[in-house]
Structure 1
Amino acid sequence: MTDQMARSSRSSRWPLAAAMAGVLALSAALSSCGVVGTADAVANAAPDAPINGPQGRVPQFIASCAVSHFAFDDPIVHPGHAGASHQHVFFGNEAVTASVGYDELLGAPTTCDQRLDTASYWTPVLLDPRGQRIDPTGAVAYYRPGAGVDHTTLVPYPPDLKMVAGDAEADGEQPLSVVAWSCGVSAVRSVVPTECPGRSTLRLLVTFPDCWDGERTWTASPDDRHVVYSSAGECPDSHPVPIPQLQLAVDHPPVDPDGLSLSSGAITTGHGDFWNAWDQDKLVNEVQNCLHRGITCNVSAN
């Protein structure tokens, strides 16, 4: 069974009114929230264009995370089945296993510098030409509005939201706006790793959807997604709730790019997983105090 076919069909509902109440003291009615959407918009399979640099002069907050552990597990794709996945490297929450539940993640230790970021992030492992693992030096999670999206309308992720970006079974190049490689924080993107100058790190970039359907926290079917990408700064009517766009940047030491692969297969099979187990009050504060106010938080350079 493929990773895509094996994705759990479990989903849960988190009322949109509760989401908005946690952000603004507004009515629970969606129309009063200033949510972007248009009847002409359609669910988008990728952002319109790559984000121009991981740190830009746009509203954002970030979390820097060390490696937590490596495991042949994927609690989103193969929940409850230890060893059923290709190898992943995990960042953030240290309690993650194949069978862990959301409640077990809350308040668990984290490798992130923001101690209340107990979310979990994971990607496939980078391999050298001999198939040996190249350990990352760390990861950075950037939370921003999607391109052109009104930052004052963003809603925090609901508790227990799960997202996957990129295709572990890709048989060719993926859009640079979803999966890309760069040298450190350079704005130059490539579909495969390139040789980086000096001591610049080799960085895998995975950009997640930023429009939510307002109800489900996970769906297994690629034809019935609970999250999609915005287009031209708007969310489609099917997914009218704008959420922060997460870009996960995984840094590796300088390495010869020839012959590299991923534990999921070819070097073009990059992807990432995110499980929202943030302290929810802290997440709401970050959205309100950083994104809604249009400022950058925890960013040392632009």
Structure 2
Amino acid sequence: MHGRERTPRRVSGGRRLSALLVGTALAASLIGVGSIASAADPAANSATSATGTVSAHSAHAGHAAHAGRAAAAVATPDDPDGDGYIPAPSPVTGVPPSHRTPPPRYFHEFQANCSVSHTAPDDPIVYPGRPGASHDHTFMGNTSTNGDSVTGTLYGGATRCKAPGDSSAYWMPSLFRGQQKILPVGDQVIYYKSGVTDYTSVRPFPRGLRFVVGSPTQSAQQFRDHPGWVEGWECGDSYRNTAFPAQCPGGTQLNIRMQAPSCWDGRYLDTPDHQSHMAYPVVKPGGNDDVCPASHPVALPMVEFKMAFPVDGDMSQVRLASGAAHSFHYDFFNAWQEPVLKRLVEHCVVGGLQCDARGYDETHPEAGVALTADYRLP
């Protein structure tokens, strides 16, 4: 069982109120971002194995983030005209933000425990159909994720998540100490929780929804002020760091937590900046309740990465493939089997429970479980 961890509450209301300003700045910087593969040194940008090393600085060689300039349009099966807008096949309209206050429950979440599958200089969201165009990423969940991945290739695929029904793709910039790539070991914790006060209004993600949280080109201040910030970089007794701690006690790990926006516009599975179709909850006027803004009224699960990297001691040589510590960001591409995700959302999030990857809350055994012992639907 995952334990009764008192997870940090959602981002504060004051920071959610500034989310639109922060999101606008980050969205502008995200258009066309990423590390463009160096034509002069293709070998330095080739995919590496999950345990391999790379030559010095090759993981972010040729980093050229052109803020405000979109990458060349590439047609894909998900986006035939290559304009970056992917309409939802079944748009959700006429759903106002919920201002209801249900019975208070401290927890309304479940975990997706997923391990690292591979690494590669690919990003099928920012650089769809362009393998090798990105800085190096560490992929979790779906084992097939690459630069050509689309909804059809991910859905139903093999996964490194405990629940076979979760073939979603999760990725983040790879972490290095000098030339050595440092990969998270074992199952990582990816929370699916309510970001709004009315946790009973949360519904499952639509198939094919994708987005980017944060930006590799964000400044240190933007990283700290990001509405998805939870505790920054931490190890031992050092918390809320924008930069990597100078020293991590022996036997500890480097951790980071970051929350995704959980309010959807109901219309698009993706937009050109990979963020505008999503928004963070805001504080209801005249109160403390968290609600989705009218522009993005559909409440979805709030994804929260909680990553642990096995690195300690002197941290002076630690870096991300995307650059400095404040360049941390991550990507999510939904490929859950709908009945499995629906069961977990309804049982754990809407049900006000703190569930493990099976949908079991050890403090509420009377509620039962969502999935069987092998993490499948009953």
Give the TM-score category using the shorter length. Answer: 0.7 to 0.9
Question: Match for 1:272: what amino acid?
Answer: Y
Runs of 4+ in 1 over 6 A off after TM superposition: 299-302
Q: Which residue of 182, 197, 201 corresponds with 2:234?
A: 182
Distance 1:187 1:284 in 2: 38
Q: Which blocks of at least 5 consecutive residues in structure 2 are unaligned?
A: 1-31, 35-66, 74-82, 284-289, 364-378
Distance 1:301 1:122 in 2: 30
- Structure 1 counterpart of 2:29: none
Distance 2:238 2:272 in 1: 33
Would you say the 8 A contact 2:292–2:299 is kept in 1? yes
Once the two structures are superposed, what CA deviation does each residue of 1:73-121 show, in whole Å capped at 9, x if it has no partner?
Answer: 0000001111000000000001111112211211111001122111110
Would you say the 8 A contact 2:227–2:280 is kept in 1? no
- Structure 2 counterpart of 1:137: 185
- Structure 1 counterpart of 2:311: 254
Q: Which residue of 206, 230, 244 corresponds with 1:193?
A: 244
Would you say the 8 A contact 1:36–1:240 is kept in 2? no
In the TM superposition, residue 253 of structure 1 has moved relative to its aligned partner by 0.6
1:1-16, aligned counterparts within 5 Å?
2-3=33-34, 5-6=70-71, 9-16=84-91
In the TM superposition, residue 171 of structure 1 has moved relative to its aligned partner by 3.0
- Structure 2 counterpart of 1:285: 343
Confirm or deny that 1:106 pairs with 2:164: no
1:236 is paired with a residue whose SS is coil
Distance 2:91 2:149 in 1: 26
TM, length-normalised to structure 2: 0.65
Distance 2:241 2:120 in 1: 28
Distance 1:229 1:91 in 2: 24
1:284 is paired with a residue whose SS is helix
TM, length-normalised to structure 1: 0.80
Tell me how large the CA RMSD over aligned residues is: 2.7
Question: Match for 1:2: what amino acid?
Answer: V
Confirm or deny that 1:150 pairs with 2:198: yes
Confirm or deny that 1:63 pairs with 2:112: yes
- Structure 2 counterpart of 1:120: 169
Question: Match for 1:136: what amino acid?
Answer: P
Would you say the 8 A contact 2:243–2:324 is kept in 1? no
1:136 is paired with a residue whose SS is coil
Q: Which blocks of at least 5 consecutive residues in structure 1 are unaligned?
A: 18-27, 38-55
Would you say the 8 A contact 2:210–2:332 is kept in 1? yes
- Structure 1 counterpart of 2:298: 241
Distance 1:132 1:177 in 2: 31
Q: Which has the higher helix share?
A: 2
Once the two structures are superposed, what CA deviation does each residue of 1:243-285 show, in whole Å capped at 9, x if it has no partner?
Answer: 1110012211132322321101112100000000011111111
Q: Which residue of 35, 48, 65 corresponds with 2:98?
A: 35
Confirm or deny that 1:270 pairs with 2:328: yes
In the TM superposition, residue 57 of structure 1 has moved relative to its aligned partner by 4.5
1:189 is paired with a residue whose SS is strand
Residue identity over aligned pairs, in percent, reads 32
Higher Rg of the two aligned structures: 2
- Structure 2 counterpart of 1:52: none
Q: 1:63 to 1:127 in 2, by over 3 A?
A: same
1:89 is paired with a residue whose SS is strand
- Structure 2 counterpart of 1:44: none
Distance 2:340 2:159 in 1: 14
Count of paired positions = 268
Question: Match for 1:283: what amino acid?
Answer: L
Question: Match for 2:184: what amino acid?
Answer: P
Would you say the 8 A contact 2:203–2:345 is kept in 1? yes
Distance 1:143 1:206 in 2: 12
2:256 is paired with a residue whose SS is strand
Distance 2:295 2:278 in 1: 10
Would you say the 8 A contact 2:110–2:354 is kept in 1? yes
- Structure 1 counterpart of 2:281: 230
- Structure 1 counterpart of 2:61: none
In the TM superposition, residue 219 of structure 1 has moved relative to its aligned partner by 0.5
Once the two structures are superposed, what CA deviation does each residue of 1:111-162 show, in whole Å capped at 9, x if it has no partner?
Answer: 011221111100001122x24321222421101111x521101111111000
